[in-house]
Amino acid sequence: MNNNTLASKPHYPILDGLRGVAAIIVVTFHLTEPLGTGHLDIIVNHGYLAVDFFFLLSGFVIGYAYDDRWNKMTVGSFFKRRIERLQPMVILGMTLGAIGFYYTDSAIWPLIHEVPLWKMLLVYVIGCTILPIPLSLDIRGWQEMHPLNSVGWSLFFEYIANILYAVWIRKFSKTALAILVAISAIALAQLAITNGDVSGGWTLNVEQVRVGITRTMYPFFAGLLMSRVVKPGSIKNAFLWCSILVAVVLYMPRIGGAEHLWMNGVYESICIIIVFPLIVYLGASGVVAGATESKICKFLGDISYPLYLVHYAIVYFYVAWISNNKGTTIVQAWPVALAVLVGSIILAYITLKWYDEPVRKWLRKKLG
């Protein structure tokens, strides 16, 4: 089978650009997170919803790219293409995290100075497969599936969604898929309203795995359903308006406070179930306004995935600096935070050009 025959569909450039906008907001979320006293007062309070937006985009793009190609593509070739796309940056992200592990010195990670080299290397090897580690191998003390690169948890669930799609759910009729999406929406709303938010999914225990699966099922398969039933229109200035919408949703302060957690859960349910699909529809319908906007969308789309995978390796140092300087305010931290943000974008672009694209090109030849 010729891989090129599966690579001929045009992209949605505005959706690519929106993925980059959301990735940058994720970085700002992680940079403001240590400045809060808890999950109720983080400055970029809903930045974690970017993950749910990524899942929706992913489901939409996967459906658009692959739904009509299964007559000339096997499950095995689908997984080869997904591994080629996702895994190189997973490995690099874990590598950068491992290199930085022994250079971050802070009491915020109580276990970090007691970890023998063999244990760190074992966690690294497992992390490179994106499989989660058990709590017995937690080497940072944050109870994460991937303590060398925190964001790896969402890639684990991305793979689960891809497996479910390729092995089973791609065969669903539109009606069956709509029923699955409706049930998943109810489960998501129940989780959000009961807990006050959907934040979570990065620990290998029953409760957190349930959070991760619930956060994945609705947006990913709602995106898949949209790719099958929605007919994009032709909307001007869509990139601008969609970017503003994404920023408003993710930068919205916490709603309801500690007394009315359910109010924030309602907000997040509406955002994920209604607003995010609307943004994807508008973005897919958008007309790129000239060469400059086209270049911006391409740049943001190109760096979005590398940025997501490499930024936390730098953020670890930033978090250690904040924790070692108690009482640091946003006024004191913002120059450092800005440097981390810009540095992360530069690192993402360098790794894209010097590592990700060359490695994916080599893998395409090897995997055929």
Q: So what's the pLDDT on residue 8?
A: 57
Helices marked H in 102-151: 117-128
Coil/strand/helix, residue 235? strand
Q: Taking Cα atoms as reference points, which of 22, 9, 90 lies closest to residue 57?
A: 22
Contact (Cβ atoms closer than 8 angstroms) between residue 8 and residue 69: no
Measuring CA to CA, how many Å separate 279 from each of 239, 244, 325?
A: 10, 10, 40
pLDDT 10s digits, 274-331: 999 999 999 999 999 899 999 999 999 999 999 999 999 999 999 999 999 888 899 9
**How many whole angstroms from its chain centre is CA 62?**
15
Residue 110: φ, ψ to 5°:
-65, -25
What mean pLDDT comes out for the span 347-353? 98
Contact (Cβ atoms closer than 8 angstroms) between residue 46 and residue 268: yes
Number of other residues whose CB lies within 10 A of the CB of residue 110: 11
Residue 37: φ, ψ to 5°:
-90, -10
What mean pLDDT comes out for the span 163-168? 98
- Retrieve residue 17's tokens: 């650009």
pLDDT 10s digits, 179-238: 999 999 999 999 999 999 999 999 999 999 999 999 999 999 999 999 999 988 899 999
Mean pLDDT taken over the chain = 94
Residue 5 has pLDDT above 50, yes or no: no
Q: Taking Cα atoms as reference points, which of 17, 95, 57, 30 lies closest to residue 311?
A: 30
Q: So what's the pLDDT on residue 333?
A: 95
What totals of helices (H) and strands (E) does the chain contain, helices first?
Answer: 13, 0
Residue with tokens 């109870």: 143
Confidence at 1, pLDDT banded by 50, 70, 90: very low
Measuring CA to CA, how many Å separate 295 from each of 283, 290, 318, 343, 344?
A: 16, 9, 31, 21, 20
Angle at 149 between CA 146 and CA 154, to 5 degrees: 65
pLDDT 10s digits, 168-188: 999 999 999 999 999 999 999
Number of other residues whose CB lies within 10 A of the CB of residue 195: 17
Q: So what's the pLDDT on residue 112?
A: 82
Instruction: Report the share of the chain in percent with pLDDT over 70.
Output: 98
Q: So what's the pLDDT on residue 4?
A: 42
When mean pLDDT is compared across 5-14, 143-152, 353-362, the lowest value belongs to 5-14
Coil/strand/helix, residue 28? helix
What single-letter amino acid sits at 142?
Answer: W
Residue 341 has pLDDT above 80, yes or no: yes
Contact (Cβ atoms closer than 8 angstroms) between residue 3 and residue 290: no
Q: In DSSP terms, which residues pair with 235 in a beta bridge?
A: 286
Confidence at 104, pLDDT banded by 50, 70, 90: confident
The residue extents of the domains of the chain are 3-367
Q: So what's the pLDDT on residue 105?
A: 78
Residue 3 has pLDDT above 70, yes or no: no
**If you compute the radius of gyration of the chain from its CA atoms, what whole number of angstroms results?**
20
Residue 18 has pLDDT above 90, yes or no: yes
Q: So what's the pLDDT on residue 102?
A: 80
- Retrieve residue 98's tokens: 């491992």
Residue 2 has pLDDT above 80, yes or no: no
Q: In DSSP terms, which residues pair with 286 in a beta bridge?
A: 235
What single-letter amino acid sits at 243?
Answer: S
The DSSP 8-state label assigned to residue 11 in this structure reads P
Q: So what's the pLDDT on residue 355?
A: 98
Confidence at 367, pLDDT banded by 50, 70, 90: confident
